[in-house]
Structures are given as C-alpha cells and as structure tokens.
Amino acid sequence: MGKPKKQGKKSKSMDFEEVEIEEHEIDDEINYNDNDSEMSIDVDEPIVEMKPKKNKKTEIVVDKKLKKSEKAVNKSVNPTQTMQDFKEAVKKVRKEAKKPEIETKKVTPGKKRKQPDSQTESDKKRKLDEMTFKERKDVRKKQNKNYENAKIALRLWEKLRVFDQSPDERKKVYDELYRYVAGNAAHFINAHDTARVVQTLIKYGTAEQRNTLFNELKEHILEMMKSLYAKFIVRKFLKYGTKGQRDCIFTALKGHIRKLVRHKEAADIIECAYNMFANATQRAAMVEEFYGPLFLIYKTDENRTLAQVLVAHPDKSESILTSMKETLTALVEKNSLQYSFVHKLFLDYFLLASDKLRAEMIETIRESTIHMLHTREGARVAMSCLWHGTAKDRKATVKSFKNLVEKICKEEYGHMVMLALFDVVDDTKLVSKAILDELLKCVDVLAGDQYGRKVLLYLLQSRDTLHFHPDIVSVLTQGDGNAHSKKDAQIRREELLTHVSRPLVQWIAQHAQEYSVSSSMLPLIVSIIQHVKCDRTEAMRSISQVAALPYSAGADHIVEHPAGHLTLKRLIVSDNERIKNSETVLFSNILLDVVPETSLTSWTSCNRGCFICVSLLEVQNEEVTKRVAERLSSAKPALKTRTFKGAQILLEKLK
C-alpha cells in the first residue's frame, strides 16, 4: 500500500484563490494499484475553510473533519468497492472544501474606507429617519444661515400683533424688528411666515424705512411676482409705496407682461396693478405688448391706439390682427380669461377683426366665455359671441352656462349676456331647458336681487324703457339683424314667456302676503300679472285676500302700507289695459268679490285708502264703478268730515 505524501506546512495567510481546489488536481493525486488492490490519496495542501474575523481580516482555519477524512482515505480500501462509490466520496470531499462566500463592502475608488466608529451609540448623531417630522423640519431650517434672524424676527412680529400695546412699546418693537430684517430682506420674502414680517414693515414703516426695503428688493421684482408669498410684498409696495416706487415697478414689468400674464401667481399682481394702480398711460403700455411687434413699429404720436394704426395702415391690419389672434389663443389655452385686461384685449379684437377672424375666435372661446362675464368688457365679448356666432356656437355657449344661471343673472354685467341670449337664440327649446328651467328654481333669489329682477322683467317686458335705461337698450339693439338669427323676434319672445308664465303666477300666489308690501317687488308683481300668457286669476285672488284682512286706522295693512297701496292701485289701473285687450278677468272684480263690503268702507278712513277707491271708480267698466259706488254710499257723511286730499277727491267722484 502506497504511503501518502507529506502534507505541506500550514500557511499563516492565504489568498482566496489558493483555497480553491481544481478537479484535475484531485484526480492527479489519486493513485490506483490494481495489483495490490490498494488506493492512496496524496494531498499537497490541507483543505481549508475561510472565515472572516470580526475585525474584517481573513482567518484560515483548518477543518478538523477534513483531516479525519484524509486519514480515512489513506487507509486500505476494500477491493470490492466500486469506482462509483469512490467518486461520490471524492465529490463529497470537494463539496466540503468549497470556499465560503464572504460579503465585502464595495468601496468607491479614491475614497478612504470608513473605519469602525469607536463612539458609543449614545454619542452618535441621530439619523433623519429616526427623527420626528418636527425635528427634521428644524434640522432643515437650521441649514439656512438666516435661521436665527428669522426666528427672532418672527418672535418680534408676534409681539406687534398684540393690540393692547402702547404706541411707545410698539415703536420700540418695530424698530428692533426692522434692524433684524434690513439687509436680509431678500432672504425673508419667499417663506409664508417671514414674508408677512416684511409686509408688516412696508405697511407700518416710515417712508425712509420703506424706501430702504424697496431699494433692497427692487432688483427682484420679477422673481417676487412669480413667488407664492413674495408677490404680496409687491402688492404692498404698489399700495403703500410712493409714486416713484410704483413707476419703478411698472418699468420693471415693461416687456415682460405677455410672459407674466401666463404665470399663475404673477397674473394676479398684473391684474391688481392694471385695475388699481396704473394710470391711463401705463394701462395702454401694458395692453400694447399684446398687439404684436408690427403695431409697435407703426405706432406714432398721432396714431397711438390699435384702431388708429389699422386705419392709417390698412394693408397691415390683417397681419397685426393675425398676430394678435395667436397671442389671444395662447391665453385661452393657459386659462387666463378671468383677468380684466385680457377682456380688454378680446373686446378690441372683436371690434376690429374681420368677419372671418372673428368667427375663428368665437369658435375658440365659445365654451370659455363663462369666465369673462364679471367685467364690462368681458360681458360685451360674450354678447358678441352670441350675436355673431353660428347656431352651433350659440348652443355651446348656452350649455356652458349650465348650473351657473343664478350666478350669471346676479352679475352686474353678466345679466346683460342673459338678455342678449334671449334676443338672438332661435332654439327656444334649448334655452327653456338649459336656462329657464334652472332660472325658475331660484326665482325667490333673483326677485330679491337688483340684476336678477332685470332678467325676469326682460322676459316679461323686453326693452321697455320703464324698466331698462335707454343706454342698455341701445347696446342690446347691436345684435339685431345679425346673420344667424332667422326666427321672428316677437315669436321668440312669446315662446320664452309662455314657458315661464305659469310658474311665475304660482310664485306670486305662494308669496303674496310677503311680496305685495315690498317696494322692490312692486314692478315685478305688476308686470307678471299684466303680461303673463296664462290665467292669472290665482295670483289676483291671493293679493285680494291680503287686502281683505280687517283694517283699522294705524294698523300695518296693505291699504295703508307705502308699497302695498301702490301695488293695489297699479293692478287696478292695469285693468284698463286688459279691457282694451278684451280680457274678461279683471283685478277690480276679483278684489270686490273677495273684500267684504264693510272693509271697503273702512278704507275711506285713511288718505291712501281713499285713493284706492278713486282708482276703482276710474276703471272703464260700468259694473265695477257701480259696485264701488253702492258700497261707498254710506261713507259720504264721514267723507265730508275728512280733511285729507284723498277724501275730498273721492267725495267728488261719488257725486
């Protein structure tokens, strides 16, 4: 039996590559002796296992189990052992000798490996993920070099907000606050809290202090306008600053208006500056930036406005308006239609553009006019869209008003758009469904609003100068004779009135007690009863029942009420108009049917009651005058003793 070779000396340190045992090395060291039926294995190096120490240095440990297996193999092997069993034993040895995987931290080239920290856990800095939200916030704030100044400034600002302070104490705190902010104002303007500190200094500071802050911040005007909080500082300078400071701000804005108006935050300040602080020259300069470069080229001292330039250079009008159209389209895409100076631009365009360009713009904004109704110019633009738009354009505009009818009717300028809509839209079914049905749900609210009542009155008496100023009527007539309205105006009006008549009569019947003595409701109630296209008996009877209540001198009765007695008088006088129209239902007859005979006599005890009786006697109907004269015959002796004017006139009528 062959003797195993001597093992090599154990190496104190070994690279990882030396541990791996190749398959051919093991096969070469295994010797077979068929004659002696013996087998021996020579191993030059011991099979080892790599284990990392705690100090991250590699330690080589000789596996004791592998030494025992080596000795076992060196012994004589049974001749009957098969080669297959032997190979399995070798595989087992190879498997056990396999190098263990040691995780090593990858070190970035050029950086020193981090050494173990000798500090205890309590001495180490806390990690961010171990902190609370408030603690992380404080850590982040402390990165700002002005953190301490801001903290002190906020503390002083809180003291200024206390009302029960003497002027001397307040001035002392204010001066101290100013010392902390002056020179660092640029670092205070972008935070929600410190920006308020700067605003306070601008509002309550002296002219000198305000000027110092302005000089420090004037180079940042454009950036401040785009900031969520700093923009309010610009507004404070516009409000409390000197004329020179305001002019400086407008100078900084020059050439940047088109870009700023498309910025959400900056556009608010542009709107404020245009409406509240700019003079006529500054407003014109702001608007001119949207007219395009050609306008600026051809603008002269004689031709300052867009209309004058187009008249002086008619060959350039198409180019100027086309450039302007592109600018306005960009504003529509940016949802910037709520600003009044934008409405001015659109109105200028609609007044000067050709029919083709105007039609293209109407198609662009027909669903967005809802955002323009709160200004005079914007309402005129919306009215132009209705006047000159096609049936498709009008339909889109009407549908865009859905769920907003009440708000539009209560707008100072928006209600004019409703009046124009009633004038020109031929599809009365669409208007009835989309507009009038929603309007009838809020009659109470609209009747109590000065502009809402105008909308209701226009449905009843369109363009009647009794309710509408001639200037308003002249504006509405601009839409007459447009190219897209085919239906007769009177037919359109009657169709709309028919739709609202019955609901309005029911509304009066339900609220007669309340609204018959309201001076603001008086014109509306009289107009409804006089012009509706349905039976109005229900409304007449409800008001008559209010008048039928027992009357005593000095009581709060409709007959003696300042507005109530006028309601009765006008309804009685309107009977003459109904008689001319051959109508059989008269308010006077219904009133005499409902009011007891004794009540009519009691009305003669007051001046206003006498005038109501005079109105009844002046109705051009013999039946009415006869009934009144019979009831008042017993009141003649008492009338002779009355000294007020109404009693004297009534007595003359009864003779």
More confident residue, 351 or 103: 351
Q: How confident is the model at residue 266 (pLDDT cuts 50, 70, 90)?
A: very high
Are the beta carbons of 334 and 267 closer than 8 angstroms? no
Do residues 62 and 10 touch, judged by C-beta distance below 8 A? yes
pLDDT of residue 162: 86
In whole angstroms, what is the distance from residue 298 CA to residue 309 CA?
Answer: 7
Is the pLDDT at 101 greater than 90? The verdict is no
How confident is the model over 253-274, as a mean pLDDT? Answer: 94
Write the burial class of residue 83 (CB in 10 Å: 0-12 exposed, 13-18 middle, 19+ buried). exposed
pLDDT at residue number 639: 86
Torsion-angle region of residue 582: left (phi > 0), alpha (psi -120 to 50) or beta? left
pTM of this structure: 0.75
**How much is the pLDDT for 95?**
66
Report the C-alpha gap between 351 and 346 in whole angstroms. Answer: 9
Q: For residue 364, is pLDDT > 80?
A: yes
Nearest-angstrom CA–CA distance, 230 and 186: 10
Measured between alpha carbons, how far is 70 from 41 in angstroms, rounded to an integer? Answer: 8
Q: If you search the block for the tokens 């206390």, which residue do you land on?
A: 162
Are 360 and 393 in contact by the 8 Å Cβ rule? The answer is no
Residue 337 near residue 400 (C-beta atoms within 8 A): no
Mean pLDDT confidence for 219-235: 96
Q: Kindly give, in sequence order, each residue whose CB lies less than 8 Å from that of residue 143, ignoring residues fewer than 6 positions away.
A: none
Report the pLDDT value the prediction gives residue 245, as an integer from 0 to 100: 96
- The pLDDT score that the predictor gives to residue 553 is 74
- Average pLDDT value for the chain: 84
Residue 570: which of 516, 495, 500 has the closest Cα? 516
CA–CA separation, 433 vs 230, rounded Å?
47
CA separation for the pair 181, 149 (Å, rounded): 8
Determine the pLDDT at residue 449.
96
pLDDT > 70: what percent of the chain? 82
In this prediction, residue 363 carries a pLDDT of 96
**What pLDDT, on the 0 to 100 scale, is given for residue 259?**
93
Is the separation of the CB atoms in 10 and 46 below 8 Å?
yes
The structure tokens listed for 87 are: 């190979």
pLDDT band at 107 (very low <50, low <70, confident <90, very high): low
What is the distance between the alpha carbons of residues 587 and 621, in angstroms, rounded to a whole number? 12
Compute φ and ψ for 62, nearest 5 degrees.
Answer: -80, 125
CA dihedral sign of residues 625, 626, 631, 636: positive
**Residues 347-360 pLDDT 10s:** 999 999 999 999 99
What's the CA gap between 537 and 545, in Å, rounded? 12
Sign of CA dihedral 439, 443, 445, 446: positive
Q: Mean per-residue pLDDT for 5-29?
A: 43
What does the domain layout of the chain look like in residue ranges? 16-96, 146-289, 532-655
d(CA 444, CA 441): 8
Query: CA-CA distance, 43 to 359, in Å (whole number)?
Result: 99
Name beta bridge partners: 260. none
Percent of the chain with pLDDT over 90: 65
pLDDT at residue 646 is higher than 50: yes
pLDDT 10s digits, 373-415: 999 999 999 999 999 999 999 999 999 999 999 999 999 999 9
Contact 458, 493 (CB under 8 A): no
Give φ, ψ of 40 to 5 degrees: -140, 150
Q: Does domain 146-289 have CATH number 1.25.10.10?
A: yes
Lowest mean pLDDT among 118-132, 481-495, 582-596: 118-132
Task: Express each pLDDT in 114-171 by its tens digit.
Answer: 555 545 544 456 677 778 888 887 777 777 777 888 889 999 999 988 888 888 998 9
The residues pairing with 49 across neighbouring beta strands, listed in sequence order, are 61
Catalogue the E-assigned strands of 400-494: none
Mean pLDDT of 224-253: 96
**189 in Cβ contact with 230 (< 8 Å):** yes
- Quote the distance between the C-alpha of residue 652 and its chain's center: 66
Using DSSP's 3-state secondary structure scheme, residue 188 falls into coil
- Digit-coded pLDDT (tens) for 559-585: 999 999 999 999 999 999 999 998 989
Contact 67, 116 (CB under 8 A): no
The predicted pLDDT at position 592 comes to 94
Ramachandran category for residue 30: left, alpha or beta (phi over 0 → left; psi -120 to 50 → alpha): beta
Q: Can you give the pLDDT at residue 5?
A: 45
> What are all long-range contacts of 456-462, with beta carbons under 8 Å and residues at least 24 apart?
456/504, 456/524, 457/523, 457/524, 457/527, 458/418, 458/419, 458/422, 459/422, 459/496, 459/497, 459/500, 460/497, 460/527, 460/528, 460/531, 460/532, 461/527, 461/531, 462/419, 462/422, 462/423, 462/493
pLDDT at 131: 83
Which of 153 and 8 is assigned the larger pLDDT? 153
Neighbours of 25 (CB within 10 A): 12
One-character DSSP codes across 603-626: GGGSHHHHHHHHHHHTSS-HHHHH
Side-chain-side CA neighbours of 381 within 13 Å: the count stands at: 33
